[in-house]
Structure 1
Amino acid sequence: MGPMSAPAVNAQPRMLATAAGEKLNQLKKIDKNKVIYTLGEQMDVAKVEAIAASLGNDSRIEYAEPDYIMTIQQTHPNDPRYAEQWSYHSNDEITGGMNLPDAWSITQGSQDVVVAVVDTGIRYHEDLMDNIVPGYDFISDEFVANDGDGRDDNPLDSGDFTRQGECGYSSGQPVPSRDETSSWHGTHVAGTIAAVSNNGIGVAGVAWKSKILPVRVLGRCGGYTSDIVEGMRWAAGLHVDGVPANKNPAQVVNLSLGGEAPCSRVYQEAIEDITEKGTTVVVAAGNEGVRITSRNAAPANCSGVITVAANNKSGERSYYSNYGDYVDVAAPGGETKVKKYDYWSGTYTWQKRPEGGILSTLNAGQSYPGSDNYDYYQGTSMATPHVAGLVALMYAVNPKIEPSTVRSILKSTARQTDCDECGAGVVDAYEAVKKAKLYY
């Protein structure tokens, strides 16, 4: 309450009680003309505001107002497995997280912001369905597609399981070297970006109020560059012959994919056309544990993309992550296994540590689709959707921001950790969103 005239400061409690209609007890003075009073009992805010208004109407009191309680402005989803999503946090124990709760106090995304997941397609997981817009299947090869047809408007992932040697041979060795189960890779990526949150189930997405556009380009043994490029173009709202127009053009394209190749002209032209339209392309650095060159990691080595390395919980570069001058930033990709020294044998061995990976939506089917579930994965494929989701948050607060500016903000706000040769460092969601909001 204050400022008050000197007589009011020293007024008898009886006078104040009459003005307030309640008993008041002086607690403290905060300067010579301002006094804090307490009420005799707990009351709801509306009643306290009414008492303050009554006091303010007294001619002896210049003004009176409640001493409101302020709290930390952080958003914490109620999803039961959110506590396992270490990658969203940043503190003394988790130096490799991306500081999301503070960013969520500014925005949790926007339904007007669409992120294209150009990947294996998607399963209609209960923790994703409400955030999915109609997509497309761009796989043209029947074997790769594994769904009995060619291109169509069904982006559902039918499974990418392969048998030993089914993808050919490399240096005389079968590819894959053993039978592999379906990855449901696109579903995992999509969950990190925009899993439905505050729904009391599963996990939270980085930009949970944004939308996912599933674009299927990968299947058994991977996918052809020609299909990927057309999927990218369509995702951004560009014309593709023989394919209906995309009614939900993406502001962000997530490419958790790549290959040991130079950046082809068809990739580079697509990226230039997409970014010129105002869409940001976010790309995985790759998982070979090598320095990226102009010859070995497309499309991470293309110009105009945001290339993302992976870091672990401690902020170090994940052991598998590619690195070097082509990398712009790092983000949590996790490590589901760690090297431990065996004193008895004097050697290092790998030990499983699934909780060190990235938890997201998945499917339980080994080959063909099964029930919904969740699991931990590791990879630059997991790091990339953290950044794509962050870019979606940036677009939510500043829809007109240019891809080049997005890249610049991500780099200028990144934190320096022990992530060696990881570009500008580990992304900081709060600082990036705050800077994007203020950018003109």
Structure 2
Amino acid sequence: MKGRRARSRSHNGRYGRGTGTRAAQRVLGVLAAAGVCLASTPPALASDGRPAPGRADFGLAASGECAFGDGVIKSTPWSLQRVLLDQLWAQATGKGVTVAVIDTGVDSSNRQLTDAMAPGSKSYVGGSGTQDLEGHGTRVAGIIAARPMKGTGFEGIAPDAKILSLRYTGGANKQGDSGTMAAAIRAAVAKRVDIINISSDTANKKDDATLRSAVTAAVNAGALIIAAAGNDGADGKSADTYPASYDGVLAVAASDRNDERAYFSQSGDFVDVAAPGVDMVSTVPKGGQCTADGTSFAAPYVAGVAALLKQAHPTWKAAQIATRIEQTAQRPGRGPNQFTGWGVVDPVAALSDTSTPATSPTPDPPVQAGSGGVVPMAVTMGESEAEKERRTAIYVLGTGLALVLVVAGSGVAVRDWRSRRTGRAGR
């Protein structure tokens, strides 16, 4: 969480894509970069058309993949399978804790969310706070507090927490901006909400004075703001995003099934922690569930863990809750890095440690040689996604060239054989 450690910052980036044909598009792109001329391919997958305060950090799904009001996914999603849920919920379920979801609204007609809604939801773009035309806010809310339901293995990470929907964008005739987002933050503070989830960022990654002021006021009031880091990290460049980069905000990157940074997740020194953000199952308007990728869905995962900690330790301050999440996260090194911050959140570890945390995380102490402990070898981040794709492309290209040579050589051999056979027949 910023304001508790000094770090340098830089700029640049662009959106991550949805699932579906994404992998094929990335391989084709690598092949093209390697100098292979390809036939024209279909256009890149479009986002689901959701607006932003200029541009929101909305998780993306391939067009046509999700139908609101459709069925549910029966199996338990991987993001929950990785957690010992019985052990986790023996510690806390989020009961008595309200999380403000500042987003496109939350559709309370979804059966898994009807009983999760707190009174006082509001819209700043017309309509109701419990209306969601885009589906984004309903997904975010579900990851935090969806109630269990027969027929599906999906439920929220804090299944007894409450959701206060503050709809700052996604109106039928009006879209939001940093001003409506700031107004929603101030409303959450006025409601004395302890945890605020923001799965959006500003257009062109611009710092906005009004938004910064609202965030500062919320932090000073004791609220824990959890914000998505952004989906513009595919180019490998670091960049600040807002409100995630503001002091006092817990910035969340997206991780994949291997606990590595999702290729689209924005990197930067502002990143505090990472959480599952790939193939995330959640609730959608009119009922049912869909899957999507994005740091938008990693942030509410962390917000759910924060709600559990708040129930278990109601006197802890926002900085202490953030520190416990960061300190118990799984990381490859002793300290943070610009890809996953202090590491991938470990809900059970966060809840199992009952000691009182400090107000800022510290690197793990080194193990001294001769102390009886094991001295670990330095661990690197390993092969990056781009390096892996480049290597795969080279393999594919090399295999293709080998096949071409085999075919060409075979053609020459056949031609020579036929020539010799014809010559013998003529004698």
Q: For the superposition of Structure 1 and Structure 2, which TM-score range results when normalised by the shorter chain?
A: 0.5 to 0.7
Structure 1 segment 123-134 matched on structure 2, within 5 A: 123-124=107-108, 125-134=110-119
Q: Secondary structure at the match of 2:166?
A: strand
Match of 2:222 in 1: 278
Deviation of 1:437 (Å)? 6.4
* Residues 87, 332 of structure 1: 8 Å contact kept: yes
Deviation of 1:291 (Å)? 4.1
Q: 1:411 to 1:291 in 2, by over 3 A?
A: farther
Q: Does 1:204 align with 2:147?
A: no
* Residues 329, 425 of structure 1: 8 Å contact kept: yes
Of all paired residues, the percent bearing the same amino acid is: 31
Q: Does 1:114 align with 2:98?
A: yes
Deviation of 1:398 (Å)? 0.5
Q: Which of 253, 271, 281 does residue 196 from structure 2 map onto?
A: 253
Match of 1:423 in 2: 341
Q: Secondary structure at the match of 1:84?
A: coil
Q: Which of 256, 273, 282 does residue 360 from structure 1 map onto?
A: 282
Q: Which of 274, 277, 288 does residue 333 from structure 1 map onto?
A: 277
Match of 1:307 in 2: 251
Question: Can you give the 5+ residue segments of structure 2 that lack an aligned partner in the other structure?
Answer: 1-71, 359-427
**Once superposed, what is the RMSD of the aligned Cα atoms?**
2.4
- Per-residue displacement from partner, 1:118-160 (whole Å, max 9, x unpaired)? 00001121111011112333424xxxx4x4xxxxxx313252x
Q: Does 1:188 align with 2:139?
A: yes
* Residues 127, 202 of structure 1: 8 Å contact kept: no
For 2:132 and 2:343, the matched residues in 1 are separated by 37
Q: Does 1:379 align with 2:363?
A: no
For 2:250 and 2:273, the matched residues in 1 are separated by 8
Q: Does 1:156 align with 2:130?
A: yes
For 1:231 and 1:225, the matched residues in 2 are separated by 10
Deviation of 1:186 (Å)? 0.5
Deviation of 1:422 (Å)? 1.0
Deviation of 1:102 (Å)? 3.0
For 2:215 and 2:94, the matched residues in 1 are separated by 24
Match of 2:80 in 1: 88
Q: Does 1:293 align with 2:278?
A: no
Aligned length: 278
Q: Secondary structure at the match of 1:236?
A: helix
Deviation of 1:305 (Å)? 0.2
Instruction: Compare the two structures and name the one with the higher strand fraction.
Output: 1
Aligned amino acid, residue 318 of structure 2: P
**What is the TM-score normalised by the length of structure 2?**
0.61
Deviation of 1:236 (Å)? 2.2
Q: Secondary structure at the match of 1:232?
A: helix
Match of 1:228 in 2: 181
For 2:304 and 2:170, the matched residues in 1 are separated by 24
* Residues 417, 426 of structure 1: 8 Å contact kept: no
Q: 1:250 to 1:306 in 2, by over 3 A?
A: same
For 1:377 and 1:138, the matched residues in 2 are separated by 24
For 1:158 and 1:197, the matched residues in 2 are separated by 21
Question: Can you give the 5+ residue segments of structure 1 that lack an aligned partner in the other structure?
Answer: 1-79, 91-97, 148-153, 160-182, 238-245, 335-356, 364-370
Deviation of 1:89 (Å)? 3.1
Match of 1:324 in 2: 268
Deviation of 1:265 (Å)? 2.5
For 2:270 and 2:237, the matched residues in 1 are separated by 9
Match of 2:90 in 1: 105
For 1:158 and 1:413, the matched residues in 2 are separated by 35
* Residues 277, 295 of structure 2: 8 Å contact kept: yes
Q: 1:421 to 1:400 in 2, by over 3 A?
A: same
- Per-residue displacement from partner, 1:274-312 (whole Å, max 9, x unpaired)? 122221000000001154434xx1111111100000011
For 1:253 and 1:119, the matched residues in 2 are separated by 11
For 1:138 and 1:305, the matched residues in 2 are separated by 23
Deviation of 1:436 (Å)? 5.2
Q: Secondary structure at the match of 2:94?
A: coil
Match of 2:304 in 1: 389
* Residues 252, 274 of structure 2: 8 Å contact kept: yes
Q: Secondary structure at the match of 1:386?
A: helix
For 2:84 and 2:340, the matched residues in 1 are separated by 18
* Residues 293, 301 of structure 1: 8 Å contact kept: no
* Residues 107, 130 of structure 2: 8 Å contact kept: yes
**What is the TM-score normalised by the length of structure 1?**
0.59
Deviation of 1:99 (Å)? 5.3
- Per-residue displacement from partner, 1:141-182 (whole Å, max 9, x unpaired)? xxxx4x4xxxxxx313252xxxxxxxxxxxxxxxxxxxxxxx
Q: Secondary structure at the match of 1:123?
A: coil
For 1:114 and 1:202, the matched residues in 2 are separated by 23
Q: Secondary structure at the match of 1:432?
A: helix
Q: Which of 316, 322, 326 does residue 407 from structure 1 map onto?
A: 322
Match of 1:166 in 2: none
For 1:308 and 1:264, the matched residues in 2 are separated by 20
Q: Which moved more, 1:209-218 or 1:402-411?
A: 402-411
Q: 1:266 to 1:292 in 2, by over 3 A?
A: farther
For 2:267 and 2:208, the matched residues in 1 are separated by 20
For 1:256 and 1:135, the matched residues in 2 are separated by 20
Q: 1:137 to 1:408 in 2, by over 3 A?
A: same
